[in-house]
Amino acid sequence: MEGGAGPVTHALTVAIIPARGGSKGVPRKNLRPVGGVPLVVRAARAAAAASAVDLVVVTTDDAEIAEAAAAAGARIVRRPAELAGDTASSESAVLHAMDELEGDGLTVGAVVFIQATSPFIPSGGVDEAIEHIRADRFDSVFSAHETYGFLWRRDDDYAAAINHDAAHRPRRQDREPHYLETGAFYAFTAEGFRAAGHRFFGRIGIVEVPERTAIEIDDEQQLAVASAIADVVEPGDEPIPAKAMVTDFDGVHTDDTAFVDADGHEFVRVSRSDGMGVSRLRRAGIPMLILSTETNTVVGARGRKLGVPVAQAIDDKASALAAWAADEGIDLADIAYLGNDVNDLGAMGIVGWPVAVADARPEVRAAARVVLTRRGGDGAVRELIERVLVAAPPAAETGPAA
């Protein structure tokens, strides 16, 4: 076992996340990003954000998954090969992790079994589930959302109603709701789970979660849907604790259009609000770089106006960004990169905070950890700067705006 806390004597509430390396439907599924964050990392963060969870554990047979989960703060349990195959149950992985923890002298009182294939795990729902277990209201609890759907089954060649009388179709307000299991999390007592050998036993309770969080990823199409709706399911203006900011130019500082005169000279439209934001960022002492494939001199001119260094005519943005970060002594994990098009994907893939403007290409929005509400050339740079400044230490702001 790797990482984690020292010896304790009280019973712990442990979140256990099984994440094996093999996956047929979606290769390397647990490392695939939604909203710019790998699924296993999303699960670990959601578990850690639940105040009632004492310890987050990822059980895996895969070194790359282990590295990503450990970086997210999880304790790693190495899962043996016989528990990581296609036929191995999740329960066997959870039980093995519990045995490993208790073999290290930890006492497990309650378990939250979390599935990384659910990208939108509500931490508040996890806390509610744990509270039910601790208060002895239930022995096991699972996440579900309310549904009034009419369910049917195929009976030979015909359809048969399951949860309703097909001859009587009452209004929604006159019907009793049913609950659809989301697969996101299950909570139970450690003792009861050991005795039962499965996640549903004793007094079973339900924690209702929003239906919008209920997507579960089993194929590429579901992954694409989750990526597309990530910024809708998880909207917000939370601070971005980046120590440096790098941006593309066209489509970020501009609206991705250009005016061309009769002599071939290009003109672009930029935002004065963005200029004020850049001025504030500089005053706060936060480094910034404009990184562009464009060769037009307008990029350099705008950089000089803003007082920001520019690297342009760059084909390999990722390499140029990595070199700049090394020269500045800044960890890539501490950099926010703002992009809008496919040539930004390489740079977005190596930083800790990949960010997309609101009108970015779909594949860029899918790779982003944060999707802004403002479009390129219409205050997107300012929006990102404000979120970076909220998380930054206080600094004096002096000097003129750009």
pLDDT digits (tens, 9 = 90+) for 347-400: 999 999 999 999 999 889 888 888 898 999 999 999 999 999 998 876 544 444
**Would you list the DSSP string of 254-301?**
B-S--EE-TT--EE--B-HHHHHHHHHHHHTT--EEEE-S---HHHHH
| Residue 105 zone, left/alpha/beta (φ > 0; ψ -120 to 50; rest) | left
pLDDT grade for 223, boundaries at 50, 70 and 90: very high
Q: What pLDDT is attached to residue 2?
A: 64
Segment 318-337 mean pLDDT? 96
The CA-atom distances, in angstroms, between 234 and each of 21, 35, 198, 210, 354 are 27, 9, 31, 12, 16
Mean pLDDT score of the chain, rounded to an integer?
91
Burial class (CB within 10 angstroms; exposed 0-12, middle 13-18, buried 19+) of 368: buried
Q: How far apart are CA 125 and CA 167, in angstroms?
A: 37
Dump pLDDT digits (tens) for 177-196.
899 999 999 999 999 999 99
Model pLDDT, residue 145: 96
Alpha-carbon span 340 to 368, nearest angstrom: 10
CATH class for the region spanning 244-390: alpha beta
Which residues sit opposite 76 in a β-bridge?
A: 2, 58
Q: Specify whether domain 11-233 bears CATH 3.90.550.10.
A: yes
Does position 264 have pLDDT exceeding 90, yes or no?
A: no
Quote the pLDDT of residue 294. 87
The tokens of 376 are what? 């390129």
Location of structure tokens 């020269």: 327
Which one-letter amino acid corresponds to residue 88?
A
pLDDT at residue number 105: 94
Which pTM was predicted? 0.73
For residues 62-72, give the mean pLDDT: 94
The 10s digit of each residue's pLDDT in 116-164 is: 999 999 999 999 999 999 999 999 999 999 999 999 999 888 999 998 8
Answer yes or no: are the C-beta atoms of 377 and 254 closer than 8 Å.
yes
* Residue written as token pair 């494939």: 293
Q: What is the structure's pLDDT at 216?
A: 94
Q: What is the mean pLDDT of residues 315-337?
A: 96
Q: Can you tell me the mean pLDDT for 67-90?
A: 91
Please give the average per-residue pLDDT across 283-296, as a whole number: 93
Task: Determine contact, residues 240/326, Cβ cutoff 8 Å.
Answer: no
Domain ranges of the chain: 11-233, 244-390
Nearest partner of 232 among 48, 35, 29, 381, judged by Cα? 35
**Helix or strand or coil: residue 251?**
coil
Tokens at 64, concatenated: 């790359």
402 pLDDT more than 70: no
